[in-house]
Structures are given as structure tokens and as C-alpha cells.
Amino acid sequence: MYFQKNFVFILVDSNYDSFEINTTQNTTDEYKPSDETQKTEINYDSFEINTTQDTTDEYKPSDETQNTEINKTIVTAELENCSTEISSDISEKYDQFKFNVPGNSACDETELTVELSRGSKGSNKKDFCVFCKTLQSKIVRHLENKHSSEDEVKDFMSLPKGCAECLHKITNIRKEGNFIFNTTKEYNRGRMITMRRPIKSTKQNGINFVNCPYCNGFYTRNNLRHHAKQCNNNDQKTSTSRNILQNARRILGRYHPEASRRMRIEILPVLHEDKITKAIRYDRAIILYGNSMCKSQIHQHQNIYIRGHLRLLGRLALALKNRNSEIDTLAAAYAPQHYKTVIDAIHDVAEWEYKTNTFKHPTNASTLDTCLKKIGKILDVAYMIDKDLAKRKDVDDFLKIYDVDFSGTVNKVATETHTKFKRQKKTILPNTSDIKTLSDYLKIKMEENIETLSNEFSYETWKSLAEVTLTAIQVFNRRRAGEMERILINDFKNYECVCGSSSTCDITKQSNEAHNYVRFTIRGKLNRTVPVLLDAQMLKSIQLLLQFRKDAKIPPSNPFLFGLPSTNKSQHKHLSACKLMRDFASACGAKNVSALRGTALRKHVATKCIDLNLSDNQVTRVARFMGHHKHIHKEIYRQPVAKVDIEEMSKILEKAQGVKTTLNESAVTTNSENDLSSINQG
């Protein structure tokens, strides 16, 4: 009776068909496979199956069998610099398997097939031995007879047969061996071993199965979340199953061998699994380009930027393959005879409209121009290292044609289309009254939250105060959303007032107008150092947020001033300034809600400089404070003012034609330089 109870446990939890406590052979006299099963049966005859009685007299474990790790690769110091934090439970798995590292590459799941089920007894189901690297129909008996000197085998042999702990240890050994089998082409030869074999032939493809990031058993994609919550190797069974597929991809490493550590851990696993991602994973040129971007784009928030470029190149690779089946990788397109195909593929990705001779998405065309040039240089260096002179010559010839023809064929049209879209786009700047309404609303909300949080802590109040403070600072300083939400605590601690260090002055008790604000610097766009101003209320709010930061359960490793708690330890979470700006703009009661946005506020202050009649030096200081060049301030952010053109320029043009106007002639003569200067600035 005790044995039956444990046997049910096996079937329900993991369906280990070949487990037997008895030493007798399972019989299949009553089993008759269907025609469909016979047709889809996978032949395992190419593997050596031990049918004789196992003995341990002549067995001596080799150095290879004592070490269950396969294909270890030494990661260079350069790649180690691109390392990233991952969750503690997944980190332990990396230490154990060391599989998803540069140099290794798991099999493509689309090329693997799973054998159909032959009934509840698991007839003809074989497991891969982690020690001797052979398929075995009776894995438990094989381990006891052939590998009894291994530490893992000694552990389960010392336990009573049939107990839960014994079965759990055997299960781990089986899963570890099957994981090696499923990820190594030399062993599996296009086959996959899963925990439960499918019944329908339509479910045989390996794409339907995913490895558990905790135990490395392969389960159906739909059942993985249910298994992970009950997995014996999951120490946090009550934790959420969010990002379970990402963690599984981090363990497996189905990427090109040359993919860097950061590409394997941070960039590629997050990509949505579709045909574009599948075109990226094993494409050498795209992977090398991603490695190059990882070295230059080192910040966490730039991962999205890298993924965007990879996805765009994946779309180009698919477009090339659709037009010419011989171009199976992006690197294969770098040949003179394929140049026209590349141009046509770019037209497909950017959606060229033949009737108007314009691009529907001109940014895609201009971005691909930059990407293809960089990839060409990367491939040239790679072929130089590989001493592949023929391919290197093809790349050089392709780039020569590209440099001569591409600017006129694609780039010029993309630039003109982009300029036309920008010219026809209507920019609505926010009214000063709406800005004041939003600012007053934020001040009231901030004061309420400060008073409530000072009396009693609650996470809802703490988070509400953080949201209001972040938006208030952005509205006042007219900073970019990304710069505000990623303010570092160490940068804030260096704030200072007009009298010097922050520790020598309390602005809340100062009556002098110069002491109403404090200043600290942060990282701006293009690595510029830009200032941020805080009034007394903002400063008090931030100090209160830092005081209760530990109570809000913000990880100590989170460096962001507006950080949030996160269940995913692979990245630091923070508030989203864009979302908060939209929410508060809708709640404050402004007339034109859609105009209250971060970029519109920056354009508003740049255009406001015209009415203030600022000198050229003052405009330069404003542009420096905003974090951009004076030319960008005037040409991009400052919006054309119709009043200047209509009222002033019309009178000057009429005067030039001899038409009598109300404009005083002497005023035009004496103030011409000032008027033209003002118009040029507008």
C-alpha cells in the first residue's frame, strides 16, 4: 500500500514512466500501438542501450563523468565587464550548469522532435545518463549498477527506496541528464526528451516545450507556470510566476555561440518569441552588432534601445530571405551581387510607397543605413580574424557600392520624407494658465502627503508622495522624463545652495530669495552634466522619502532616488515620469490636457524666451540648463511664432515695396537691427 501511494506521486508530479521499485521488467503484452503512433515512432537504434546486467566491478568514474558540466567556456575579462545581476535562485543554476555562457549554443527547438506517448506505463521511454552520456531504458537500475560510486547516486541509494526524498534526488539526476541531451546536438540528433510525451502528433515539435528554470525539466509551454509554483527545486513557491519564460531562456541559451554575457542575460531573453526573434538568435552578424552595442550602451535603460535595433535588423533579415532564399543570414547579404536585394528589402521594412515615392516609416530606412555600415565594419574585422579573404573582399566591395549609391537611393528620400512629416505635424504648446493649474495641484497633493506620511507610514502614501514629487520637479525644471525618473541618490546627496555646502544651510528657515532653492547635478543626454533646482517643499519631500525608503522595502542596491520594490532582481525598478505626467495632467483640471507633456513643456520655455527678449548669452545659459546645444534650442525646441511673421515682417515687406504703412519709418531705420535679431531668434 505504501508503494502504491508513492507510485501515484510519481505519475501526478512528473510522470516518470520508467521508475520502478521492483527489479522485474515491465511487460507490454496488452499494449498495441495505434497506426498513428507507429508512424511517428522515433528510432533510437543509433544510441547504445545497455541490455546486459550492469556490474560495478570494472567501472571507474573518469574525470569527465565526475564533472556533469559540459562545454565550459572561459569568459574573458572583457565580457565579464558586461555582467549583470540576476535573481538569486537563477544565479545558483548558472553556477551549477554554466551552460549559457559565450561559446555555448543550445539546439534550436524548431529542429527537435518529441516521441509520442505509448501509454501510462511509459513503454520505450528512455533517459539520458548524465555520467556516461548514453540513453537508458532503466535509468535507476543503470545508476545503481554502473555509477554507484558517484556522490549523487550514493545520496539516493542511502535513502529508503520509494520515499519522497529518494525519488526527488533521482528526478534531479534524470532532469540534469535530459537537459544535457536536449541542448547538445552531438547527443540528441534532432530529438528531445520531455517529462510528459505528447499524445497528438501536432504537438511533437520542440517549440511546444520549455525548460523549467528551477529543475531544468522540459514541460509544455502552457503547463510551465503551474509546474514552477509546485517545483521541488523552487524555494519560493509562493512567489509570482512572472518572467518565468524569460528565466527559462536565460538558463537554456539558445543563441549564437559568440553572443556576449549581457546579450544572453539581459537583452535576448526579454524579446518576444516570434519569427523576428528566431531570425535574430543564431544570426552571427546581428549578434556581433548587439555585442558591440552592449559595450557602448552600458546603462540599464538602454537595453530597450538595443533590442529595438536588433528587432529592426531581424525584420531586414526576414525581408532579405523572402526576396532571395539564398540569403539565409544577414552576413550573406554582404556581397556585391546582393546589393539590389538589400535596397529592395530596406524598402519593404520602411514601407516604400511607389505612388508618392516616399517612405511610410522613414526612420527605419535611416536607422538601417547606420546599422548596415557598422555591421559591415564588424564583419570586415571578423573575417580578418578568421582569415577568410574571400568573404572579406565581398564585404569591402559591397561597402564601396553602398557608400556611392545608398545616399542618393535611400538616405536622401528618407530625410526629405522625415522633414515633410515634421513640417506638417501640428505642435500645440500648453497655456501658461494650464501649467500653473498643474503646478498648484501638485503642490497641494505634495503638502497633503507630507503631512500624512510624517504622522504614520503607509506604502500607498509613500508612493503617492514620490509620484507627486517626481512630476513637480519635472514640471518646474522642464527636464526630460528619463533624466528625472533616473535621478541617483548619490547625485542628490551632493546638493548645495548659494552659500555652499548643503550641511551649512537650512533653506526652510531662510527668508532671503536666493536661499529659496538648492541645486544638484545629474547625467543628461549625451553624457552632459545638467543642473536640477529644488524648492523647500521638494527638498523636504525627498528627505522624507529617503527616511522611509527602508520601510517601503526598496532594495538597498537600487540606486535611483525614485526607486520601487521589485520581484525581479535582475533590474532596478523606478517610477515612470511619462505615465505620471499624463495621469496628473488629466486629474488637475487643465483645459488642454493633451498639451501638458514633457517635451511640450520644454518647447514652451524655449518659445517663451522670445517674449522675454533674452540676450544671446542668456539664451545660451537657458539651453545649457535644459541640457542641449544652443542651436538645438533655437531650431528644434523653439517654435515659430506667427505673430512675429505677420505683424513685423509684413510691415517690413510692404515698406520694401513702397506701400505706406503705419510703421514709423524712423523706427524701422533705428530699430531694424533689433527687429531682425528678434525675428532670427524666433
Burial (CB count <10 Å: 0-12, 13-18, 19+), residue 40:
middle
Query: Across the strands, what pairs with 168?
Result: none
Average pLDDT over all residues of the chain: 82
Q: Please name which of 428, 531, 527 lies closest in space to residue 517, comparing C-alpha atoms.
A: 531
pLDDT at 252 over 80: yes
Which segment, 217-221, 424-428, 652-656, is predicted with the most confidence on average?
Answer: 217-221
123-160 burial, b for 16+ CB within 10 Å, e for fewer? bbbbbbbbbbbbbbbbbbbbbbbbbeebebbeebbeee
Q: Please name which of 237, 291, 285 lies closest in space to residue 267, comparing C-alpha atoms.
A: 291
- Integer Cα distance of 618 and 681 in angstroms: 12
Instruction: Indicate the pLDDT class of residue 70, thresholds 50, 70 and 90.
Output: very low
pLDDT in tens, 410-462: 999 999 999 899 888 888 889 999 999 999 999 999 999 999 999 999 999 99
Q: β-strands 113-114, 191-192: how paired?
A: parallel
- Integer Cα distance of 370 and 302 in angstroms: 18
Q: What's the pLDDT at 6?
A: 39
Q: What's the pLDDT at 124?
A: 81
pLDDT at 44 over 90: no
For residue 634, what is its C-alpha cell?
A: 533655437
Instruction: Indicate the pLDDT class of residue 598, thresholds 50, 70 and 90.
Output: very high
| 258, 291 Cβ separation under 8 angstroms | yes
Q: In the predicted model, what is the mean pLDDT of residues 86-92?
A: 40
Q: DSSP for 59-89?
A: ----HHHH----S--PPPHHHHTT-----HH
pLDDT in tens, 451-487: 999 999 999 999 999 999 999 999 999 999 999 999 9
DSSP state, 160?
A: P
459-477 and 432-455 helices, crossing angle to 10°: 150
Q: In the predicted model, what is the mean pLDDT of residues 213-240?
A: 85
CATH fold, domain 432-596, is hpI Integrase; Chain A (1.10.443)
- Integer Cα distance of 215 and 125 in angstroms: 20
pLDDT in tens, 556-583: 999 999 999 987 676 899 999 999 999 9
| 284, 256 Cβ separation under 8 angstroms | yes
- Integer Cα distance of 126 and 133 in angstroms: 12
Domain ranges, ordered by start, for the chain? 102-236, 255-425, 432-596, 603-657
Instruction: Indicate the pLDDT class of residue 318, thresholds 50, 70 and 90.
Output: very high
Q: What's the pLDDT at 190?
A: 93
| 173, 160 Cβ separation under 8 angstroms | no
Contacts of 372-381 with CB under 8 Å at 24 or more apart are: 372/342, 372/402, 373/399, 373/402, 374/289, 374/292, 375/285, 375/286, 375/288, 375/289, 375/313, 375/330, 375/334, 376/334, 376/402, 378/285, 378/288, 378/289, 378/292, 379/285, 379/288, 379/331, 379/334
pLDDT in tens, 144-196: 999 999 999 999 999 999 899 999 999 999 999 999 999 998 999 999 999 99
